[in-house]
Amino acid sequence: MKQSERSAQSRGKLIDTALELFSSKGYTGTTVKDIAKEAGVTDGLIYHYFSSKEELLHAVLAEHNFLEEVRQILQSHDELPVDQKLYKLGKRLLELMVNKSSLIKLVFGESQRNEMMAEKLENLISGGVTALGGFLDKRAKNGEIKDIDQLSLARHFIGSLFLYFMTYGKSRTEKEHKLYLETVVQALCEGIKTN
């Protein structure tokens, strides 16, 4: 393995370890020593890659957020009707929330205590809302759905998925996720479709 690959692997391990500890102990409750111990490295190695614990937190958020994947889903499969596209997006968002539950726990938990994290959460959600709002606006312009406030509609859809996940989603089966998502998409689309 090349030095650059080992370096990337070490950096990735530190980011993943920090995510798990920040999620379980909180950002404030986690020290650089805790991360080093859990990762099996020295404190100095962490400072080789990151100038501070805050920079490491930024790396965690950059590495593990799924905003880019949301954008890719919305930009692909333009031939799909709006209900199928929303279902596809919702299904992937729920999968990502389950797979990245430590990130969700970290961001939502810390945003209640930490102004910087509240701002990060707002930026992440705003990015998703803007992307989905743009997709819905395009569909409204071609007459597929009603011309209403698409950003509010996007907030409603994304917010309902996060609320579902935070309250029920972690303990539900894939079949229950599917039923929830089908119901939400059907109800939403019955209200916004033009025909």
> With helix as H, strand as E and coil as C, how does 131-180 read?
HHHHHHHHHHHCCCECCCCHHHHHHHHHHHHHHHHHHCHHHCCHHHHHHH
- Global pTM? 0.85
Q: Which of 73, 185, 65 is CA-nearest to residue 131?
A: 73
User: Long-range contacts of range 136-139, CB-CB < 8 Å, 24 or more positions apart?
Assistant: 136/82, 139/82
Look at residue 105 and tell me whether its pLDDT is greater than 90: no
Helix (H, G, I), strand (E, B) or coil at 189: helix
Question: Which pLDDT does position 89 carry in this prediction?
Answer: 95
Average the pLDDT over 81-85 and give the result.
95
- Residue 111: is its pLDDT beyond 90? no
Q: How far is CA 6 from the centre of its chain?
A: 27
Arithmetic mean of pLDDT, 98-120: 87
Tens-place pLDDT, residues 116-172:
888 888 888 899 999 999 999 999 999 999 999 999 999 999 999 989 988 887 778
Backbone angles phi, psi at 173, to 5 degrees: -85, 170
Superfamily of domain 3-62: Homeodomain-like (1.10.10.60)
Provide the pLDDT for residue 131.
95
Tell me which CATH homologous superfamily contains domain 65-192: Tetracycline Repressor, domain 2 (1.10.357.10)
Higher-pLDDT residue of 47, 193: 47
**Domain residue ranges in the chain:** 3-62, 65-192
